[in-house]
Amino acid sequence: MAKERRKSNKGKEKESEWQERVVQIRRVTKVVKGGKKLSFRAIVVIGNEKGQVGVGVGKASDVIGAVKKGVADGKKNLVDVPLNKAYSLPHPATGEAGGARVFMRPAAPGTGVIAGGAVRTVLELAGVRNVLAKQLGSGNQLNNARAAAAALASLRTFSEVAKERDIPLEKLYA
């Protein structure tokens, strides 16, 4: 009877609102005194599709360990994304990381996510459904994912801007 109970609990995993996608897994080596030490680097994007997203990197001697570490790192680096009613961005934004630059522009409803590679993954897991994005500079997936997260972190809503300027929201539109 105890075995049956254990099996039933094992089958049920707690449903999480967070989704995780592995962007890249790379085999890396370190040259040490005795030869070459092999390990894996995983780039993981984690998001809830409700305006929060994070990019994480994990390194371990096995792929599963690297992905777990990447998920933990992604949760530490979460970014809040202000979405408007059309599930788009409030204004154009640019983000930089290393040699990569990412430019994002809001798009009309029904446009979809027009972006490539790691930037697309970051935007989809953030919950952005209508956006135009372009990668400029480096093609490095880690730097592009971090640049996309930086661009999303730089976004501000109209109410935040009005509060900073100490003017009413209605005057901001005029």
Q: Can you give the pLDDT of all 174 residues of the chain as single tens digits?
A: 555 555 555 544 566 789 999 999 999 999 999 999 999 999 999 999 999 999 999 999 999 999 999 999 999 999 999 998 888 999 999 999 999 999 999 999 999 999 999 999 999 999 999 999 999 999 999 999 999 999 999 998 888 888 888 888 888 776
Q: CATH number for the 17-78 domain, one of 3.90.1170.50, 3.20.20.20, 3.30.160.20, 3.40.50.150?
A: 3.30.160.20
Q: What is the largest CA-CA distance in the chain?
A: 71
Alpha helices in the chain (DSSP H): 2-11, 63-76, 117-126, 141-153, 158-165, 169-173
Beta strands 52-60 and 93-97 are unpaired
Secondary structure element (H or E) that encloses residue 103, with its range: strand 100-106
Model pLDDT, residue 174: 64
Which class would CATH give 81-162? alpha beta
Model pLDDT, residue 100: 96
Model pLDDT, residue 7: 52
Model pLDDT, residue 4: 53
Partners of 54 in the β-ladder: 46, 78
Query: Where do the CATH 3.30.160.20 domains begin and end in the chain?
Result: 17-78
Closest CA to 135 of 106, 83, 82, 99: 99
Query: Where do the CATH 3.30.230.10 domains begin and end in the chain?
Result: 81-162
